[in-house]
Structure 1
Amino acid sequence: MNFIDYLLNPPSNLTLAEILLVSFLLGVMHGATPDEHTWPITFSYAVGKYSTRGGMKAGFLFSLGFTAQRALLTTLGFLGLAAIYSKYNLDGPVYIVVGIVMAIAGSYILKGKYIHLPIDKLLGSEHHDPLAERRELRDPPIRMTVIHGLIAGFGFGAYASIITFVLAPRVPGLIYAPLPGAMFGLGTMTMQVIFGALFANLMRLKKLTEEDIRYLGSKTAGRVLYYGGMIFSLVGAFILLFPSVDNWAISTGLQVPNLNAVDVGFLLVVSVVGILGVGSMVMSYRELMDVKKEERKRAAVE
């Protein structure tokens, strides 16, 4: 049995210390692999904070809420009350709620404290002053990452199954039941803090001023959260209507969860972080160059 097999199929005679270590390492694997419940949120807020420290804080706060929920989940697993996950697929509702919260945060960054439908853009009738829009942008409400973490923690996958149904019931007593979930959350947090710092520094690849980076980061974060939230909610609604879709998967031949198949979750990560995230960066950079050109024109006139 290799190390990965050992973690994914832990033996039944583990001590409490070994259970906690396995839980932590599973969390590290969870945080390091493309997971739809973690990467899109960490990416969005980290890019919006446009600094190593801000990105690390985004990853930390998200994982803090996630860790609290996982501690609750393993407690339910110890008590035998997590069987609801065996009977009901909660992916659809979780995607919907996560998407709504993402869209609220994105709307706050882009337009203010409200959700609006971008009808003006769809109809091609939008009129705005790019300089006024630059001043209007808000920093990402980073404390909301805790709420995201709490909600996303209700998503259930292979890693959650191991800590909830395999490891949690093996701890010595109820008082220890939250610990596997907490250690799993801390493992996830470790990787999310690292990725948060890396995501945030994507904004520094170009030699831009601090104000330019703030604009670029906020605009990218706002778009990813706003439109990514809509994607999450639509996918969640689709899964509720057609539950079998959530079981669709194409095997990659790898044995590591989140990398073992191309499925709905993987496609969500690719579409929100990859396509929407990178596309938003490119679009926001072009808009920034247009704004700076407009600024130079106005300065010349004055």
Structure 2
Amino acid sequence: MDILNLVLNPPSNLTVAEILGISFILGLMHGATPDEHTWPITFSYAIGKYSTKGGMKAGFLFSLGFTLQRALLTTLGFIGLAAIYKEYNLDGPVYFVVGLVMAIAGSYILKGRYVHLPIDRLLHSEHHDPRAERNEIRDPPIKMTIVHGLVAGFGFGAYASIITFVLAPEMPSLLFAPLPGVMFGLGTMSMQIIFGALFANIMKVKKLTEDDIRYVGTKTAGRVLYYGGITFSAVGLFILLFPSIDNWGISTGFVIPNLNAIDVGFLLVVSTVGILGVLSMIMSYREVTKMRVSKEKKIKA
């Protein structure tokens, strides 16, 4: 508990090595706990790549963009410009932009274009042929994860507050200012690579062919990014209209950030990864099963 308290409440007069070590540990904690700025995106791209290597790459590239932004953030913290986060709540705009980027990527995966209304699917669901759609879906644009990481990095929470307002100002000069952000990003990256590999291998639990795994993984990724993106943007707009909502939360009794309360961010993680992700996987698996049965009937006939 003393170590945890040291990490979450760093004292002053720390050495550069101690600051960087704490920053890295904070990054590990950030990547390991359910965070709305990292988990939904890493899950989507990782499961869409349907392999350990692909999942790890998704986690790496997302965290790379995130690390670059965190380096900028701690630099701003050192020179005092990050004070904007103390004066303004940027969660609404960040959620909206992150959701928009997610929806654009999801639309591309599902339909091969960047404009697609959800009502289209509802209107044509009765006549929808999953076999035709199997040829339409595209692999997740993996390089987009860097963009996601850069945008998501503007989200601000307890971990960001520590590295920006406590640790960064303790650095000896402007030259060293980006380092806490870099170490924090590398810690986050380590955990996101691990989770990316785990997410990607979820598909291997069932005895599916490589093509089936590709379909289920890619379709799940598209749905989570698209509909999850719409959810993020809607929540962002809602917070812009009613800012007090972002302060709502039910304490869980834990002291670790991202686990200490059931709040808007936690519910976004649950809704996108937990609910939408699981439902999308089930739907896609059923579609694959339906296609397999239909193919077997044709062969027998």
Partners of 1:107 and 1:115 within 8 A in 2: yes
Which residue identity does 1:282 align to in structure 2? I
Residues 242-253 of structure 1 mapped to structure 2, 5 A cutoff: 242-253=242-253
> What secondary structure sits across from 2:127 in the alignment?
coil
Q: Residues of 2 paired with 1:2 and 1:102: CA distance?
A: 39
Q: Is the 8 A contact 1:120 1:126 kept in 2?
A: no
Kindly indicate whether the alpha-carbon contact (under 8 Å) linking 1:78 and 1:169 is maintained by their aligned counterparts in 2.
yes
Q: How far is the alpha carbon of 1:113 from its aligned partner? A: 2.2
> What are the residue-to-residue correspondences of 1:247-262 with 2, within 5 Å?
247-262=247-262
1 CA distance for matches of 2:184 and 2:257? 15
Matches within 5 A, 1:230-245: 230-245=230-245
Structure 2: any 5+ residue segments left out of the alignment? none
The equivalent of 1:143 in structure 2 is: 143
Give 1:135 shift: 1.4
Q: How does 1:27-66 map to 2 (within 5 A)?
A: 27-66=27-66
1:195 aligns to what SS in structure 2? Answer: helix
- CA offset at residue 156 of structure 1? 0.1
State how many pairs are aligned. Answer: 301
Aligned to 1:82, the other structure's residue is in SS state: helix
3-state SS in 1 of match to 2:250: strand
Q: CA deviation at 1:157?
A: 0.1
Question: What CA distance in whole angstroms lies between the structure 1 residues aligned with 2:53 and 2:63?
Answer: 15
Q: Please identify, of 283-292 and 118-127, the stretch whose mean Cα deviation from structure 2 is larger.
A: 118-127
Deviating above 3 A after TM superposition, structure 1's stretches of 4 or more consecutive aligned residues are 123-126, 297-301
Q: Deviations over 1:136-155 (max 9, x none)?
A: 11111010000000000000
Partner residue of 2:297?
Answer: 297
Q: In the alignment, what sits opposite 1:215?
A: 215
CA contact (8 A) 1:103 1:115 kept: no
**Aligned twin of 2:114:** 114
* Equivalent residue runs for 1:173-212 within 5 Å: 173-212=173-212
Q: Which residue of 2 aligns with 1:81?
A: 81
CA offset at residue 124 of structure 1? 5.3
* Shift, 1:125, TM fit: 5.6
Q: What is the identity, as a one-letter code, of the residue corresponding to 1:41? A: I
Matched, 1:264 2:259: no
After superposition, give the CA deviation of every residue in 1:34-86 in whole Å (9 maximum; x if it has no partner).
Answer: 00000000000000000010000000000000000000000000000001000
Structure 1 unmatched ranges of 5 or more: none
The CA deviation string for residues 160-203 of structure 1, in whole angstroms up to 9 with x for no partner, is 00000000000000000000000000000000000000000001
Q: Shift of the alpha carbon at 1:293?
A: 1.8
- Work out the CA distance in 2 between the residues paired with 1:28 and 1:225: 24
Cα distance in 2 for partners of 1:240, 1:15 equals: 40
Identity in percent: 77
Whole-Å separation in 1 of the counterparts to 2:73 and 2:11: 21
Give the Cα–Cα distance (whole angstroms) in 1 for the partners of residues 72 and 124 of structure 2.
48
Match of 1:131 in 2: 131
2:168 counterpart of 1:165:
no
CA distance in 1, matches of 2:247, 2:38: 20
Deviation at 1:123, TM superposition (A): 3.5
What's the C-alpha RMSD, in Å, of the aligned pairs?
1.1
What CA deviation, in whole Å up to 9, does each residue of 1:98-140 have, x standing for no partner?
0011011111111012221022333456533322211111111
Q: Distance in 2 between matches of 1:59 and 1:214?
A: 18
Distance 1:105 1:125 in 2: 22
Q: Mean Cα displacement is larger for which, 260-269 or 122-131?
A: 122-131
| CA drift at 1:291 | 1.4
Scaled by the length of structure 1, what TM-score is found? 0.97
Q: State the distance in 2 between where 1:90 and 1:127 align.
A: 42
Aligned to 2:16: 16
CA distance in 2, matches of 1:129, 1:298: 16
Partner of 2:105: 105
- Secondary structure at 2:114's aligned position in 1? coil
Q: Separation in 2 of the partners of 1:55 and 1:180?
A: 26
Instruction: Give the stretch that moved more between structures: 292-301 or 101-110.
Output: 292-301
